[in-house]
Amino acid sequence: MSIEPMWLCGECGVQHNFEDDARECCAPTARKVYGCPVCGRTYDNAKQAEDCRDACTAGIPLGPTKAALEAAGQMTLTLKDISSELP
């Protein structure tokens, strides 16, 4: 199974196979991503999608993506750098 580029609407996040479809859905922003053909997760680069495909094919379970966790309501917390405050 090959890794094919897909397009995400910048506003609604719907996946499209063609850039024009994504731009028409939520003009003018669309973002190019790469999808795992096994589980459908999307990644910013083809290497990550290939790694996911290989893991899915081998039956290695992957945890949820950051985007999936945030969509489910989990918040991403930013930690304060306190290294300069340490003795």
Q: Is 51 exposed, middle or buried (0-12, 13-18, 19+ CB in 10 A)?
A: middle
In a domain, 79, yes or no: no
pLDDT for residue 77 is more than 80: no
- Give backbone dihedrals phi and psi of 47, rounded to 5 degrees, phi first: -60, -45
Residues 60-87 as b/e (b if ≥16 CB within 10 A, e otherwise) read eeeeeeeeeeeeeeeeeeeeeeeeeeee
The answer to pTM > 0.75 is no
Look-up of token digits 């053909």: 37
In a domain, 75, yes or no: no
Q: Are strands 15-16 and 4-9 parallel, antiparallel or unpaired?
A: antiparallel
In a domain, 14, yes or no: yes
In a domain, 72, yes or no: no
The confidence band for 42, taking pLDDT boundaries of 50, 70 and 90, is confident
Tell me the residue length of the chain.
87
Please tell me the predicted confidence (pLDDT) of residue 28. 67
Mean pLDDT of 77-83: 70
Number of domains in the chain: 1
